[in-house]
């Protein structure tokens, strides 16, 4: 008897009864029990029906009712609007939306009032509110284009985030402390050097390998911006790379030889900083800012710094160049008056001062 082989069909045998059960199991589609024996008309009809079933939208589950917030978000995950996001944005936005689904997924999307959005963000910190609103606006824009919503409940809603300097810039003393604890040839020292001498984000640094360096130039494509950069390798970085064992596709690898994920790398870098007894504000992104600061202090223009860091606009970089210019100008001004050989003659003492002097003498 010829054995029938059908794709996506799995058989299970009940140990107690010896009865065989067959199921259609295909990624992205519902699990379907197939009745009858393989090859029978009943079985083949159920099989063909399961094979033709539409895929389940990414993220959909039993709680998703048609027209609900949950169903819309599930469909949004499979949209071009979401899939076109780059870098760490998809993961961060999914985390925000899943938290929102857990609490409010049952609500009808089309009738969400503006008051609901305002009340929701009022219970958040400014930072959380800003991130949530940015993420949900993206969903709403997609939903309106798909005619899942008529009105935009986020229209006119804004969040003012308190002005901060963001991640702390590493000081030269903090850099020296890290270098003193982790010698050249160690993985932590290589990680520090990659941050300081490339000015790249963690997601790009963990992907750098020897294959990206040719003729003394590091070529990489940034995950966040999509920009391709060609960065001359600093001699100190070249020396540290040469001194650090690396036989993998990436220079930085885990203990098992695998490339780091962005979050896993941040956790590991925190441990390296703790070992060097550095404060909590010393995070990897601060090295990107320290690199820009060094370039600005060295006299580089905003355009020159952007050619290395890959910033899309000069607004952020101008903060470094303006500070460096202020320091240089202030120093030059003080040196100028310090070197002044001819000092002005003292003028006549003012009348109030004369009277004060007379009273003091009396």
pLDDT score recorded for residue 352: 65
pLDDT score recorded for residue 226: 87
Calculate the dihedral angle through the C-alpha atoms of 98, 100, 103, 104, rounding to the nearest 10 degrees.
Answer: -120
Q: pLDDT tens across 179-213, in order?
A: 999 999 999 999 999 999 999 999 999 999 999 99
Tokens for 128, please give them: 């959380």
pLDDT score recorded for residue 1: 43
As a whole number of angstroms, the distance between CA 21 and CA 214 comes to 58
As a whole number of angstroms, the distance between CA 46 and CA 51 comes to 9
As a whole number of angstroms, the distance between CA 119 and CA 234 comes to 52
For residue 13, the cross-strand partners are 20
pLDDT score recorded for residue 39: 78
As a whole number of angstroms, the distance between CA 127 and CA 159 comes to 9
What are the φ/ψ torsions at residue 133 (nearest 5 degrees)? -65, -40
SS (H, E, C) 236-267: HHHHHHHHCCCCCCCCCECCCCCECCHHHHHH
Tokens for 280, please give them: 């909590």
Per the CB < 8 A criterion, the answer to whether 137 and 129 are in contact is no
As a whole number of angstroms, the distance between CA 72 and CA 65 comes to 9
Tokens for 16, please give them: 């107690």
How many residues does this entry show for the chain? 362
For residue 221, the cross-strand partners are 228
Spatial CA neighbour of 78 closest among 150, 64, 113, 7: 64
For residue 171, the 8-state DSSP code is: P
State percent of the chain over pLDDT 70: 85
- CA distance readout (Å), 26 to 4, 29, 47, 56: 18, 6, 12, 11
- Note the pTM of the prediction, 2 decimals: 0.60
3 state SS of 229: strand
Residue with tokens 């703790």: 274
Residue pLDDT tens, the chain, 362 long:
445 567 888 776 666 566 777 878 776 666 778 887 887 888 888 888 877 766 655 554 445 678 899 999 999 998 888 988 877 788 889 989 999 998 999 999 988 999 999 999 998 888 889 999 999 999 999 999 999 998 899 998 888 766 666 788 999 999 999 999 999 999 999 999 999 999 999 999 999 999 999 999 999 999 888 889 999 999 999 999 999 987 788 999 988 888 888 788 999 999 999 999 999 999 999 999 999 999 999 899 999 999 999 998 888 888 888 888 888 888 888 888 877 655 555 555 566 666 766 666 66
pLDDT score recorded for residue 55: 63
For residue 152, the 8-state DSSP code is: -
CA dihedral (197, 200, 202, 205) positive or negative: negative
């Amino acid at each position: 008897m010829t054995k029938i082989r059908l794709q996506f069909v799995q058989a299970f045998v009940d140990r107690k009864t010896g009865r065989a059960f067959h199921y259609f199991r295909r990624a992205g589609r519902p699990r379907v029990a197939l009745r009858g024996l393989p090859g029978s008309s009943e079985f083949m009809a159920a099989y063909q029906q399961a094979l033709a079933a539409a895929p389940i939208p990414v993220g959909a589950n039993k709680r998703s009712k048609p027209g609900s917030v949950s169903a819309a978000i599930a469909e949004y995950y499979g949209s071009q609007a979401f899939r076109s996001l780059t870098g760490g944005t998809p993961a961060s936005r999914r985390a925000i939306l899943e938290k929102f689904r857990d609490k409010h997924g049952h609500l009808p999307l089309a009738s969400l009032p503006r008051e609901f959005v305002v009340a929701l963000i009022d219970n958040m910190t400014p930072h959380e509110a800003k991130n949530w609103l940015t993420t949900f606006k993206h969903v709403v824009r997609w939903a309106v284009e798909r005619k899942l919503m008529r009105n935009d409940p986020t229209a006119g809603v804004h969040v003012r985030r308190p002005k901060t300097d963001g991640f702390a810039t590493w000081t030269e003393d903090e850099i020296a402390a890290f270098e003193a604890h982790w010698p050249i040839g160690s993985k932590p020292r290589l990680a520090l050097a990659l941050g300081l001498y490339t000015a790249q984000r963690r997601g790009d640094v963990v992907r750098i390998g020897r294959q990206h360096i040719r003729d003394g130039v590091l070529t990489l494509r940034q995950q966040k911006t999509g920009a391709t950069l060609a960065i001359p390798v600093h001699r100190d970085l070249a020396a540290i790379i040469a001194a650090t064992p690396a036989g993998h596709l990436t220079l930085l690898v885990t203990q098992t030889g695998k490339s780091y994920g962005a979050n896993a790398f941040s956790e590991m870098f925190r441990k390296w900083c703790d070992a060097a007894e550095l404060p909590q504000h010393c995070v990897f992104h601060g090295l990107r800012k320290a690199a820009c600061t060094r370039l600005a202090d060295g006299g580089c223009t905003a355009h020159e710094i952007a050619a290395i860091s890959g910033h899309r606009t000069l607004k952020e970089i101008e903060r470094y160049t303006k500070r460096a210019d202020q320091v240089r100008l202030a120093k030059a001004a003080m040196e100028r008056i310090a070197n002044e050989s001819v000092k002005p003659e003292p003028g006549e003492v003012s009348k109030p001062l004369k009277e004060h002097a007379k009273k003091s003498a009396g």
